Amino acid sequence: MTLQKPNQTKTIFYKIFSLATLTFACATILFSNISVNAQLGLEPFGINKSDPKETGWFKYVVDPGATIDDFVVVSNIGAEDTLVDLRSNDAVTTEDGAFTIVSNDLPNQEVGKWVQLKENIFTVPAGKAIKVAFKLQVPADTKPGEYAGGLSITEVDKKDGSASPLSVKTRIGNRIYLTVKGEQAVSSIVKNLEILNPKTGDFSNELRKRAFIKPENLVFMFVAENTGSVYSTINGSFKITLPDGKVLNQTFSRNLTPRNGPKTFYIETSVPYQVGKTTMNLTYSTKPQNDPKESDGVVYNFSNDKGSLDFTLDLSQAELDEFAKLVAQPLNDRPKRNPNQPAASAQPLVSDAPETIEKIVTKEVPADNSMIMYVGIGIGVLLLLLILLVTFKIVSDKKSKNTTKVEKK
């Protein structure tokens, strides 16, 4: 009788196989309880989708005191009925020049306040779309100019206890551009040009708040304010004269919101900090962000829309060495919103219920699909691992049987 030694490889395999199976089962349960909101759409009713110039935004040109009656279409291409929260909000331009609809927690002052929604909370059936009426009442004392806001929807968690324990909510928005007829002023103030000095604490703080800034390159800042009445863009060019006399030219652009006060902009160059005097000359011009098409009752007036600024920075080798230590420190937390900000008041509603549209509206909507991608990759890797382990087990069992047969002979 031949005694067989335990197959250590086979034992290790079974442990790995059991662990992988358990991991896959847990991941499947977890991922099946993740609710990813990427099924909702938001767009104006009756837009011409065949027009390549169609942006899919709400755009109006009106007189002060005008009332606009319109519809927004909320679509659901998902397989389940979805309860949504529809809101109107003001819009602003961020410090990096991006258009954004403000948080639902912040009070509205202009377009977001002027919109009266037909419904705030309602259910959008699976594979259907809802046409919701709203009114936009422009105050009679509104000054000529451009105003912007938006409509946004967010999926509402179910209250019956069947909601997923882990959910990823995406807020989807659509812009509203409103032009009140009259003279549209295009003007701005640009001041306080400065190359950030790496030897100061201010640079260290700003670097930590803005992780996109690379510490080895020159960063400059300036303060800009839209003093006109239209959404505008500052197009600038800067000439950098290095200590060795070499001259480099680069360009930039930043968007500005009217009636939004001064904003500080930080721009990273592709030029590294160097020992000696570095001089910057910045020239800029201001143009309307939207196409300046004059129509009945709309006239554009350009003033204080261009200018230039200069700044010189002188650094020593010791200061640059100290700078290297400065940027090696860990990042601080990014600034957080003030929790004492007052919440937006309840919005007035127009009577009646939403109207269901049988044919679903098809439109690509902005949504955060990163979670879907990560979940898909994770499940794919686990499946591949499981297939490899099963294949290995079959091969291992076959070899074990062959070995047993040989030993018996």
Summary mean pLDDT of the chain? 76
- List the chain domain ranges: 8-34+373-408, 39-180+345-367, 185-327
Give the Cα separation of 332 and 205 in Å (integer). 8
Query: Residue 103's pLDDT band (boundaries 50, 70, 90)?
Result: confident
Same fold, 39-180+345-367 and 185-327: yes
The pLDDT tens digits for 185-213 are 999 999 999 988 766 655 656 655 555 45
Task: Give the C-alpha distances (Å, rounded to integers) separating 277 from 66, 195, 222, 282.
Answer: 57, 11, 19, 16
Q: Specify whether the CB–CB gap between 81 and 126 falls below 8 A.
A: yes
pLDDT value for 368? 38
Q: Specify whether the CB–CB gap between 35 and 164 falls below 8 A.
A: yes
pLDDT value for 47? 74
What topology is assigned to 39-180+345-367 in CATH?
Answer: Immunoglobulin-like (2.60.40)
pLDDT value for 224? 94
Give the Cα separation of 89 and 84 in Å (integer). 16
Percentage above 90 pLDDT, the chain: 34
The pLDDT tens digits for 362-405 are 433 333 334 444 455 666 667 777 777 777 777 676 666 666 55
The 3-class secondary structure across the chain, one letter per residue, is CCCCCCCHHHHHHHHHHHHHHHHHHHHHHHHHCEEECCCEEEEECCCCCCCCCCCCCEEEEECCCCEEEEEEEEEECCCCCEEEEEEEEEEEECCCCCEEECCCCCCCCCHHHHEEECCCEEEECCCEEEEEEEEEECCCCCCCEEEEEEEEEEECCCCCCCCCCEEECCCEEEEEEEEECEEEEECEEEEEEEECCCCCHHHHHHHHHCCCCCCCEEEEEEEEEECCCCCEEEEEEEEEECCCCCEEEEEEEEEECCCCCCEEEEEEEEEECCCEEEEEEEEEEEEECCCCCCCCCEEEEECCCEEEEEEEEEECHHHHHHHHHHHCCCCCCCCCCCCCCCCCCCCCECCCCCEEECCCCCCCCCCCCHHHHHHHHHHHHHHHHHHHHHHHHHHHHHHHHHHHHHHHC
Residue at 96: amino acid letter: D
Query: Residue 166's pLDDT band (boundaries 50, 70, 90)?
Result: very low
pLDDT value for 243? 95
Q: Specify whether the CB–CB gap between 173 and 55 falls below 8 A.
A: no
pTM: 0.68
- Please state the rounded mean pLDDT for residues 47-70: 83
Query: Residue 34's pLDDT band (boundaries 50, 70, 90)?
Result: very low
What topology is assigned to 185-327 in CATH?
Answer: Immunoglobulin-like (2.60.40)
